[in-house]
Structure 1
Amino acid sequence: MKNRPLLFIILGLLHIAEPIFKVLYFKANTGFSFSLILNNIFQMNGIRQIFEFWFLFPIGGLALFGVKKWSYPVFVGVQVYSVFTHLNYESFTWPYVSNTPQWPSLAILSCNIGMILYFLLPEIRKPFFDKDMRWWEHRERYTLRIPCSFSSSNNNSLQDAEILNISLSGAFMQVDHKNFKQGDRITVNLSFLDEHISLRAKIVSLHSFEEAKGVGLMFEYETIWEQLHMTKIIKIISKATKKHYKQAMAA
């Protein structure tokens, strides 16, 4: 959740905790013991009632935390379904067992309806559909010269190069880019201290970095173990970068 919009975090947490709010409301409104309330809740019949009580709003909360293309329709779908169930609510039936739906759910629902209307604005809903708008997903990039080698489908022989900056998602590699174009795929062999890794990468740009011409790479992890290994290497590079910076400042 790091650096996500605060509104998403707050509403997401409220969604996930909504079943607990209902239980606490039952407790305050009836005076029954928690054991009796939970016993009654667990005696609900039907998958639909169980889903509406325990899972409907938490699914909306998880969708808010996701902020992906699938998140917006899921979040809106949860609210539409919830509006439908509230409009067709029968007194003293589950999930509220009261004359009218409980105020915590109505309060969250009111916020959600307002938020749906708000996110109908094209500029506001962009983070769900435009990856570049989700600033919290941008990986920290470390500037450090790292020797490497690579091979491509056009040339299987290993060629030497140098990485000038790197993150978990990709890197800038200094190389003569005349023989490359966007979309080409290469295999990069990287060694740093005692760690060695070979990764598939896609060339996503041809540009310059600090007046050095090269290619922008996006790593294409084939297994989770590759990503975990690279995460370890990035942590080592991070420490080395900080150490190098302190030494440069002290000089």
Structure 2
Amino acid sequence: MKTKPWSLIILALLHILAPVGNLVLNALRSGRTLGQQWTYWFEILPKPLLLIYLLIPVLAGIFIYVCKRWSYWAYLGCLLVVLVSNIYSYMTNMNLNTLLLLLLVVVVDLVVVAYFVVPSVQKVYFDPRTRWWEAAPRYHFNHMGLVNGEKAFVKSISQGGLLLSSAPALKENDEVTVTWEFQGQHVEVKGLVVYKLQHGEIPQYGVRFNHAGESERQVKELIIKLHNEGLIVTERLPGPEDSFGVWLKKLVTRGEGLFPKART
């Protein structure tokens, strides 16, 4: 999969649309029209509570979609606000309906929290390296260079990093200096080894650039040349297999896709 996980997109949309669903359900439950229910909300509900009903679910959906470390905690904060508001609603109007609503909110919150503590879900929020959909377009380079002064083959490159093959033995978190000559220009860029892939006997290393000086401009110019030559790595681009329909079919028939799974 090369797009943002559909499970997170759907969950974000459900939160964003929650105020509309809440309006419809309350109108049906009370026997009011949508217009009457909307008027009732604005005339009866305390304004802070109304803002919570309308704004917090939308913010929660946005925080899910942003998919960052800070948005993870912000989302859990939204859940806490919703829970507290429903407890307040029950305390001010103790009846069976508000009790059932409170219990429903508690159950839903527990299920959602359980989903977000699954390691594969947490990882995409806490580890930027696993957010494959944020990766810059990569281009075939297939050029010999040097890594820390030793020969290495640069298979592909993007604005943010490159993939090495036939390189000296490296480990994750090793700092490297990669140099090459291309079309009469000497390029030197520093980076950090962020992963290692073992394909047969030849390991490959993913390097994330730590640009300094002219290296960022030089790499950008190289990327433009490779792009104009049509050398983009198409295997990394979203395709039909990444569509919502394919994801839904896999979810229904094979139970796959509920949790994010890093592409290979």
Q: Fold conserved (TM > 0.5)?
A: yes
1:111 aligns with 2:102: no
Please report how far the alpha carbon of residue 144 of structure 1 lies from its aligned counterpart in structure 2 after TM superposition: 2.5
- Opposite residue 142 of structure 1, the aligned amino acid is Y
Q: Structure 2 vs 1, CA of residues 115 and 188 (structure 1 numbering), >3 Å: closer, same or farther?
A: farther
Identity of aligned residues (%): 20
| Alpha-carbon offset, residue 17 of structure 1 | 0.9
Alignment of 1:1-251 (within 5 A): 3-28=3-28, 29-32=30-33, 34=35, 37=38, 41=42, 46=47, 48-89=48-89, 100=98, 110-122=107-119, 125-145=122-142, 164-172=155-163, 182-183=174-175, 202-204=191-193, 217-219=207-209, 233=224, 236=227, 239-241=230-232
Uncovered stretches (5+) of structure 1, i.e. residues with no partner? 94-98, 149-160, 244-251
In structure 2, the CA distance between the partners of 1:19 and 1:134, relative to structure 1 (3 Å rule), is same
Shift in CA distance, 187/25, structure 1 to aligned 2, threshold 3 Å: farther
Alignment-derived partner of residue 148 in structure 2: none
Deviations 1:27-54 (A, max 9, x none): 54454463883696399765x3353032
Q: CA RMSD, aligned part only?
A: 5.5
- Report the TM-score when normalising by structure 2: 0.53
Alpha carbons 1:140, 1:167 under 8 Å: kept: yes
Give, in angstroms, the shift of residue 9 of structure 1. 2.1
Which SS does the other structure have where 2:89 is aligned? Answer: coil
| More displaced stretch, 75-84 vs 16-25 | 16-25
Higher helix proportion (structure 1 or 2): 2
Q: Deviations over 1:39-71 (max 9, x none)?
A: 96399765x335303221112112222332223
CA contact (8 A) 1:199 1:219 kept: no
Residues in 1 aligned to 2:13 and 2:111: alpha-carbon distance in whole angstroms: 17
Offset at residue 110 of structure 1 (A): 3.4
Give how far 1:134 is off. Answer: 3.6
1:76 deviates by 1.6
TM-score, normalisation: structure 1: 0.56
| Count of paired positions | 221
Shift of 1:220: 5.4
Q: Supply the AA of the counterpart residue of 1:100.
A: T
> Structure 1 residues 77, 54: closer, same or farther in 2, change over 3 A?
same
Are the aligned partners of 1:201 and 1:217 in contact in 2 as well (CA < 8 Å)?
no
Contact 1:142/1:238 (<8 A) preserved = no
Partner of 2:244: none
